[in-house]
A and B are shown apart, each in its own frame.
Chain A
Amino acid sequence: MNAEVIDLDLLDLAIGYSLILLTAALARLQGIGQEREMIWASLRMVFQLLAIGYVLHLVFAFSSAWPVMLVLLVMGAFSVQVLGGRIKRKIPDFYAVVGSAIFIGCGGVTFFFCLLIVGLEPWYDPRYMIPLSGMIIGNSMNGAALAAERLSAEMNERRDEIEAALCLGATARMASREAVRSAFRAALIPTTNTMAAMGLVFLPGMMTGQILSGTAPVLAVKYQIAIMFAITGSVAVTAFLILIQGYRRYFTPAHQLRDLR
């Protein structure tokens, strides 16, 4: 199927790079002083993508499950690290909570999707499993970030409410129910909005890519529909796991709200 895709050689890429140079020139003309960063970023991108390309090339050539699993784990680890850098006010035990939630949520949904829905043969086929799990992890990261950030904000803002409930004999779980619910709601909103707007407002990347590489549009659409189901499920499971592990960490075993301000 790759036969249909037109190859790009180095000269083509070099011609393409003129667009970056044009951007740098425009930046210079306007005196916004970002042309160095622009060039540097573009070079970084080129090398990072080439490196990934060769890694994937190797993984594809191995035809063994281990390298594929390793790539998935590394992607998951990077996503947790990126989240750690992005979120300022972290929930307690941030890395343990978010890491395990992404591992279970994204991992579980990736396997459910690849094995039960697509029915990969062999089960680890890297051509499918790596890009699909990449999309699942990438989208779940946003849900995870929203859940974790919102939980920490809610637990701080609702101290009076939570302690009022504890005083009336509520358990930690009951007292933080509203905080958890509102964080879960926040985590699900973007995915819901994306699903509702898909196809009308924008054409999703995976579908576009598949069409470019010669897949029939209707088949590409079916994949897109299925991956959206998977993404939604993964966002929900990941956020849910973060919240049910996260809220507990604001309390002592004696149902006391910790002072983490």
Chain B
Amino acid sequence: MPELRLEEVRKSRPGRDGLPVQILRGISLTAAAGQLTAIIGPSGGGKSTLVRLLNRLEDPDAGRILLDGQDLRLIDPLRLRQRVALTPQKPYMFEATVLENLQRVALYQGSAVPDPAAAGFREILSLCRLEAELLPRAARSLSLGQQQRVSLARALLTGPEALVLDEPTSALDRPTGDRLADTLREVCRRRRLTVLMVTHDLRLAERIADRLAFLADGQILEEGLTADLLARPQSEGLRRFLDTSSVPEIAEAQGDFDER
């Protein structure tokens, strides 16, 4: 259960005119060990850029990110990505069966391919609510909710100490999103993981996050316990964000993707 800490992290990207645009403008934030921290905020605020820095898909331009006090750049990147697992916003399913998708982890890490009957493997499946009947199916034929859970199971199979989730419910309708939220909470508790989750889904954040940080315009404007932050927003930005994304409207069902 490590602590994940960002210190004055900055990142820019080339804009349309080729000039760099500041996406992250000095982010300092701590995801406490064993807690679930959610970063909320409007889209375009730099959330997706931020997650890519945490397992070094990219490096910050300035500032440091520390995993239990150790600068990420000093950790072997392949080892780091086993310790800090990232699930992308849109789960990527390799063109193969669900089982083969899960077994890729062993393939990449050069370890023994897990037997689907092994206890550890089955525990992860049941934790992520993946029924054994799904294993032989083509992963791309699954519903988005199921794909999200395969993605989560695959991340857990890397044996991580910390989990970074990018908008886990963004593609899901509300009941599916709620079920995934419950799954996530269960996973974090049982696996004793440090979790950093990025989302614009307030409902999800309220449901499962221990702490919240509000990210807008590349800066953390506020941070604190979930209940405190939602009850007593200090910044104008957060107040406006809470008003415009009042919980019940979020992710209203567009038909149930899940049980197909």
Contact = CB atoms under 8 A, between A and B. Distances in A.
Interface of A: 160-161, 163-171, 174, 254-257
Given A166-B81, A169-B78, A169-B81, A160 B90 contact: yes
A192 B221 CA distance: 62
B57 A169 contact: no
Nearest to A171: B78
Contact of A174 (B56, B92, B108, B158): B108
Contacts of B90: 160
B40 interface: no
13 contacts: A163-B92, A164-B92, A166-B81, A167-B86, A168-B105, A168-B108, A168-B154, A169-B82, A169-B105, A169-B109, A169-B158, A171-B108, A254-B56
Given A161-B92, A161-B94, A168 B81 contact: yes
Contacts of B85: 167
Contacts of B56: 254, 256
A221 to B, nearest CB: 44
Interface in B47-68: 55-59
Interface in B76-126: 77-78, 81-82, 85-88, 90, 92, 94, 104-105, 107-109
Contacts of B78: 169, 171, 255
Looking at A160, A170, A254, A257, the one whose CB has the most chain B CB atoms below 10 A away is: A254
B181 to A, nearest CB: 22
A81 B126 CA distance: 58
Nearest to B72: A254
A98 to B, nearest CB: 27
Contact residue range for chain B?
Answer: 20 to 34
A167 B57 contact: yes
Contact of B57 (A161, A166, A171, A174): A166
A161 B107 CA distance: 15
Contact of A254 (B77, B107, B109): B77
Contacts of B87: 167
Contact of A256 (B59, B88, B105): B59
A170 B77 contact: no
A168 B104 contact: yes
A256 B104 contact: no
Contacts of B81: 166-169
B104 A165 contact: yes
Nearest to A161: B92
Given A167-B57, A168-B158, A174-B108, A256 B92 contact: no
A108 B69 CA distance: 52
B55 to A, nearest CB: 6
Given A167-B85, A169-B158, A160 B92 contact: yes
B108 A169 contact: yes
A161 B93 CA distance: 8
Query: Which A-B residue pairs are the 4 nearest by beta carbons?
Result: A164-B92, A170-B108, A254-B77, A169-B81
A196 to B, nearest CB: 29
Contacts of B55: 167
A171 B76 CA distance: 11
Contacts of B107: 174
Contacts of A167: 55, 57, 81, 85-88, 155
Nearest to B84: A167
B113 to A, nearest CB: 14
A163 B88 CA distance: 9
Contacts of B88: 160, 163-164, 167
Contacts of A256: 56-59, 77
